[in-house]
Amino acid sequence: MSTGTNRCVLITGTSSGIGLATAVACARAGWTTVATMRDTTRAVALNTAAETAGVSLDIRVLDVTDDQSVRECIDSVAAEHGRLDAVVNNAGAAHLGTLENDSLADIRASVEVNFFGVVQVSHAAMPHLRASSGRLLTISSVGGSIGQPFNEAYCAAKFAVEGFMQSLAPVARTVGVQVGVIEPAAVTSEFVANAHVDVAAMVAQAGPYAPALTAYAQRTMARYEADTGKPQTSDEVAAVVMQVLTAPEMPFRTQTSNEARDFVGQSLSDLDGSAVLGETRSWVGQ
C-alpha cells in the first residue's frame, strides 16, 4: 500500500459514531478521505467535526443495501482520485429482539445491512484494492465472536462477517490485499439510539420473554452507569482503526479495549461453549 500522502480511503456509515470519528482521524493523518452515508442531509455533525479539526472530506452518498449506489460511488471515487488504498466497512444497524417475537422481515433486514452490505461494498472495492495492494477493514463487534441475548439477528450478521472475511483473507493476500476486522465492545455513540428501541414498550409486548428482557436491560444499563464497563468513545475506537490501517502488517482480528480482548478471548478458548453460555445466561436472570 502506498505510504504517501495521496492515500485514498473510503469509509461507510460516517454520519455519526465510529464512522465519523474514523473519517476525521484519516483526514488528519493526511489521507484523501471519502466519507459516505446513505443520506447526506445527515452530514451536519461530520461537517462540524471536520471543520473543528481543520480537515476536508469528500462526502458522498452510498447506500450499502443498494448495489447500484455502491458501485457508482466506489467506481467514481477510484476514477476521480486515481486510486483506492483502503476501505473501512463501518455502516451497520443495531437490532434488539428475539426469534419468536421478531418477524422474519426484521431478521432479514438486519442481516441485509450488517452482512450483505459489507459484502456488496467489498465486492465492488476489491478490483481497486488489488490494483493498489490495499486494505479491506470491517468494523465488526465482540458480537461477532459471542452470541448475546436479544441480539440474535445482529450477532448472526457479525458472525457471518467474521467468517466471510477470515475465509477471504488468505485468498485476498495472494493478490496483495490485506483483510481484517475490528472488534469493539460497548461504544458511546448514536448506534444504539439509531435502532429506535423503546425498551419499556418491548417489555410490555415481550410476553413470556418479558422477565428475561427486563433482566437484560437492567444489566446493560447498570454496566453503562458503573465505573467499570463504561463504553469506549468513538474517538478511542477510531485511534485503533488508524493503528491497524497504518501497521506494516495488518492483523486479521483486533479488539479495541481490554474488555473486548477479555470477552473475545473467552469465546475463542471455550471449546464446548459452556463458559460463554454460563455468562450470558446470567444476563437474562438465569
In tens, the pLDDT along 245-254 reads: 999 999 999 9
Q: Of 154, 209, 216, 224, which one is the catalytic site residue?
A: 154
Question: What element of type H or E holds 58?
Answer: strand 58-61
- 265, pLDDT greater than 80: yes
pLDDT score, position 155: 97
- Residue 30 Ramachandran class (φ > 0 left, ψ -120 to 50 alpha, else beta): left
Q: Taking the model in full, what pTM does it have?
A: 0.92
The mean pLDDT of the chain is 92
pLDDT at residue 220, as a whole number: 82
154 belongs to the catalytic site: yes
| Range 8-196+233-280 has CATH code 3.40.50.720 | yes
How many other CB atoms are there within 10 angstroms of residue 91's CB atom?
24
What cell numbers appear for 212 in the block?
428475561
Sorted by where each begins, the domain ranges of the chain are 8-196+233-280
- Residue 191 above 50 pLDDT? no
